[in-house]
């Protein structure tokens, strides 16, 4: 996993609530056996009409909005456990998702793929969505070390599990850690 460095970038506003993982990556694209190429189909059925032409009303097709930060409505990532959703967002180039609430499994999957899910208050989210919508060139600064998001609507702190923060900052993953605990795991197995 890549290290998560301090990020300064523009953002894409997607003010829809309850965005489920079926919207992020529809099931018919889950037939691959590797992690590549999912970015091409992120939000597929919102980005494209059934005949394959782009839906110009959808924000990702609006050339005004660019950036590696996605700002989305409440309860982002609900539904299926498919990690393909995280691969699709990462594949498209997103490094951060800001929302007022994240579904559990998605949150874990994002962190395991170097995407930082940042939970902010509903009020801050509303202001941020409005600001980015009006001023697409408005930049956000994401500082993981100090756990802050800074934008023209103000600076807020966000929470992250200290262990997960360490993993992101250093590019570690859980497999290395678990394997280092082999003795303890075997001792547990001997007991039960």
Partner 1 sequence: MGKTLFDKVWDKHVVDTVENGPQILYIDKHLIHEVTSPQAFNELKERGILVARPDKIVATADHNTPTVNQHLPVKDALSRNQLEQLEKNCKENNITLYGLGHKYNGIVHVMAPELGITQPGMTMVCGDSHTSTHGAFGTIAFGIGTSQVAQVFASQCLLLQKPKSLRVNVNGKLKKGVLPKDVILYIISKLGTNSGTGYFCEYAGNVFEEMSMEGRMTVCNMSIEMGARGGMIAPDQTTFDYVEGREFAPKGKDFEAKVAYWKTLKSDEDAVFDQEYSFDAEDIEPMVTYGTNPGMGIKVTEAIPETDDESFEKSLQYMNFKKGETLIGKPINYVFIGSCTNSRIEDFKVAANFIKGKQKASNVNAWLVPGSQQVAKQIKEEGLQEVFEAAGFELRQPGCSACLAMNDDKIPEGEYCVSTSNRNFEGRQGQGARTILASPLMAAATAVEGKIIDITKHLN
Sheet holding 154-157, edge to edge: 116-119, 96-99, 69-72, 7-14, 139-143, 148-151, 154-157
Which residues inside 49-88 make contact with partner 1, applying CB under 8 A? 50, 73-75, 78-84, 86
Q: Which of residues 10, 112, 138, 148 is near partner 1 by CB under 8 A?
A: 112
Length of the chain, please?
192
Binding mask 129-168 for partner 1 (x = CB under 8 A): --------------------------------xxx-----
Count other C-beta atoms under 10 Å from residue 169's C-beta: 13
Q: Does 126 bind partner 1 (CB under 8 A)?
A: no
**Between residues 53 and 63, which has the closer beta carbon with respect to partner 1?**
53
Q: How close are the terminal C-alpha atoms of the chain, in Å?
A: 34
Dist. CA 160–CA 143, nearest whole Å:
12
Structure tokens at 7: 């990020």
The nearest distance, CB 31 to partner 1, in angstroms, is 4
Structure tokens at 105: 């499994």
Which residues contact partner 1 by CB under 8 A? Answer: 15-18, 20, 22-23, 26-28, 30-35, 45, 50, 73-75, 78-84, 86, 101-105, 108-109, 112-113, 161-163, 173-175, 177-179, 181-182, 184-185, 188-189, 192
């Amino acid at each position: 996993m890549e290290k998560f460095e301090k990020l300064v970038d523009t953002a894409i506003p997607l003010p829809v609530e309850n965005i489920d993982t079926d919207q992020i990556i529809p099931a018919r694209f889950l037939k691959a056996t590797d992690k590549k190429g999912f970015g091409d189909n992120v939000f597929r059925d919102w980005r494209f009409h059934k005949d394959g032409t782009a839906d110009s009303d959808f924000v990702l097709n609006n050339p005004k909005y660019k950036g590696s930060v996605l700002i989305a409505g409440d309860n982002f990532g609900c539904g299926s456990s498919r990690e393909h959703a995280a691969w699709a967002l990462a594949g498209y180039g997103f490094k951060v998702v800001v929302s007022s609430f994240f579904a559990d499994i998605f949150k874990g999957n994002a962190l395991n793929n170097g995407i930082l899910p940042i939970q902010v208050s509903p009020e801050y989210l509303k202001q941020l969505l409005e600001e980015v919508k009006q001023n697409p060139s408005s930049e956000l600064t994401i500082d993981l070390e100090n756990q802050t998001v800074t934008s023209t609507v103000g600076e807020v702190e966000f929470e992250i599990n200290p262990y997960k923060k360490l993993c992101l900052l250093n590019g570690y993953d859980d497999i290395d850690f678990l394997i280092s605990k082999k003795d303890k795991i075997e001792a547990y197995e001997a007991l039960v």
